Amino acid sequence: MSTCPSLLIAGCGDVGTRLGLRLATAGWTVHGLRRAVEQLPEQILAVAGDLQVDGCPPAWPTAGLDYLVYCAAATAADEAGYRAAYVDGLRRVLGWLAQHGQTPRRLLFVSSSSVYAQQAGEWVDETSPAEATGFSGRIMREAEQLALHSGIAASVVRLTGIYGPGRQWLLGQVRQGYRVASEPPLYGNRIHVDDAAGLLACLLQADALGVVLEDCYLGVDDEPAPLHEVVAWLREQLGVSHWAEQSSVRRAGSKRCSNARARALGWAPEYPSYREGYAAVLAQS
């Protein structure tokens, strides 16, 4: 593209705002759609709107849009909440595009690794079966299919467990003496919030340069790690010596996600493992 592209981020929360700032700095015109637009930085053009309400937002950009990133978050962690956020919300945004005669060059739908059912520590990539039976995985797959069959060139980006500033659940658990089983190892996958935004930016900028994108990418750092190893490292960093009284916690699901496809595109995580990422979080807190 000879001129700097324009982008609409629908559901412009933490990841979306970090993405928008990256691309605004690179000269892109960035619109951010969210309910609380007063939380948007000035570099992102505010579009006040609710993805769960019919009726196009009054501030919807009327000029052509080169790219759309659908980056919503469910406000309720139940089936109805997921359907409202990911399927119904995306359908509304696609309708608003059609209403304005806009066909973006590409749509990125931000999905989740919850679409995978693998739980025996297997390595998983974009070609692995995505056959989760829980409602979150099923509804995400339905939303992915809606994006991929929208009539707009689309890629789904399956992010793994996002952590970073303000996302300190695990740190809180460790401070309380969190116990986790070590056998069998419970593999977890994570990505620092800045790396999640960086991956989305990398995909958009590659597309703008004419690179042919795949229809799916996994967003994960270089080192899926057993949860007990992460907890042990954090205990050492935090100086925690006590253990909670209750017996070891065993969360369901264990898989190892590969970022080889994203890396082949030229993306590399700034925080290649939980150690660099959590060290940065702890340094800021």
Please state the domain extents for the chain.
Answer: 6-163+190-221+255-270
pLDDT (0 to 100) of residue 60:
97
Which range has the worst mean pLDDT, 8-12, 39-43, 175-179, 278-282? 175-179
pLDDT (0 to 100) of residue 252:
65
How far is Cα 250 from Cα 227, in angstroms, rounded to an integer?
A: 10
Cα 164 to Cα 14, 34, 168, 255: the distances in Å are 10, 21, 7, 21
pLDDT (0 to 100) of residue 265:
97
pLDDT (0 to 100) of residue 1:
46
Residue 59's nearest CA partner among 74, 40, 84 is: 40
251 band by pLDDT with thresholds 50, 70 and 90 = low
What average pLDDT does the segment 210-224 reach? Answer: 98
Residue 278's nearest CA partner among 195, 165, 180 is: 165
Which amino acid is residue 20, in one-letter code? G
Model confidence pLDDT, tens digit, residues 150-176: 999 999 999 999 999 999 889 999 999
How far is Cα 95 from Cα 160, in angstroms, rounded to an integer?
A: 29
By residue count, the chain amounts to 285
Judged on CB neighbours under 10 Å (0-12, 13-18, 19+), 280 is middle
The four Cα atoms 12, 18, 23, 25 give a dihedral, to 10 degrees, of 130
Residue 194's nearest CA partner among 159, 163, 156, 158 is: 163
CB neighbours (10 Å) of residue 112? 24
* DSSP 8-state code for residue 94: H
- The answer as to CATH 3.30.70.2340 being correct for domain 6-163+190-221+255-270 is no
What average pLDDT does the segment 238-252 reach? Answer: 79
What average pLDDT does the segment 87-109 reach? Answer: 97
